[in-house]
A = this chain, B = another copy of it.
Amino acid sequence: MSDSPWPDGYRSAACFTFDLDADEIWNLRIESDEAWDKPPIRTRGEFGPNVAVPRILELFDRYDLRCTFFIPGRVAEDWPETVRAIHEAGHEIGHHGYRHVNPSNFDSRAEEEADVKEALDVFDDLLGETPVGYRSPASDLSDHTLELLAEHGIRWESTFMDDDRPYVHDEGIVEIPFDWSLDDWPYFGYQMYPQLPYQSGITPTGPVFDSWRREFDGLHKRGRAFTLTMHPQIIGRAGRIDALEELIQHVLATGDAWITTGEEIAERWETGKN
Task: Known contacts A50-B163, A218-B238; decide if A206 and B203 are in contact (CB<8 Å).
Answer: no
Say how far A229's CB is from chain B's closest CB, in angstroms: 12
Q: Please, which residues of chain B bring their CB within 8 A of the CB of A186? A: 190, 192, 201-202
Q: Which of B43, B188, B211 contacts A160 (CB 8 A)?
A: B43
What sequence of 0s and 1s flags, for each residue 187-199 of chain A, a beta carbon within 8 Å of any chain B beta carbon?
A: 1101010100111
Residue of B nearest to A192 (CB): B139
Does A9 count as interface, using CB distance less than 8 angstroms?
Answer: no
A179 to B44, CA, bound (A): 8
| Contact assessment for B207 and A163 in the assembled complex, using a CB-CB cutoff below 8 Å | no
Q: Please, which residues of chain B bring their CB within 8 A of the CB of A38? A: 104, 140
Within 8 A of B (CB), among A201-219: 201-208, 210-219
| Contact assessment for A162 and B51 in the assembled complex, using a CB-CB cutoff below 8 Å | yes
| Contact assessment for B204 and A211 in the assembled complex, using a CB-CB cutoff below 8 Å | yes
Q: Is the interface of A mostly helix, strand, loop or mixed?
A: helix
Residue of B nearest to A105 (CB): B35
Does A108 count as interface, using CB distance less than 8 angstroms?
Answer: no
Chain B binder among A63-71, A239-247, A255-263: A239-247
A181 to B201, CA, bound (A): 10
Does A222 count as interface, using CB distance less than 8 angstroms?
Answer: yes
| Contact assessment for B163 and A51 in the assembled complex, using a CB-CB cutoff below 8 Å | yes
| Contact assessment for B206 and A160 in the assembled complex, using a CB-CB cutoff below 8 Å | no
| Contact assessment for A215 and B237 in the assembled complex, using a CB-CB cutoff below 8 Å | yes
A161 to B205, CA, bound (A): 19
A143 to B243, CA, bound (A): 37
What sequence of 0s and 1s flags, for each residue 217-258 of chain A, a beta carbon within 8 Å of any chain B beta carbon?
A: 111011010000000000001111111000000000000000
Q: Which of B39, B40, B205, B212 contacts A214 (CB 8 A)?
A: B205
Q: Please, which residues of chain B bring their CB within 8 A of the CB of A222? A: 238
A139 to B221, CA, bound (A): 36
| Contact assessment for A211 and B206 in the assembled complex, using a CB-CB cutoff below 8 Å | yes
| Contact assessment for A161 and B238 in the assembled complex, using a CB-CB cutoff below 8 Å | no
Say how far A46's CB is from chain B's closest CB, in angstroms: 4
Say how far A272's CB is from chain B's closest CB, in angstroms: 21
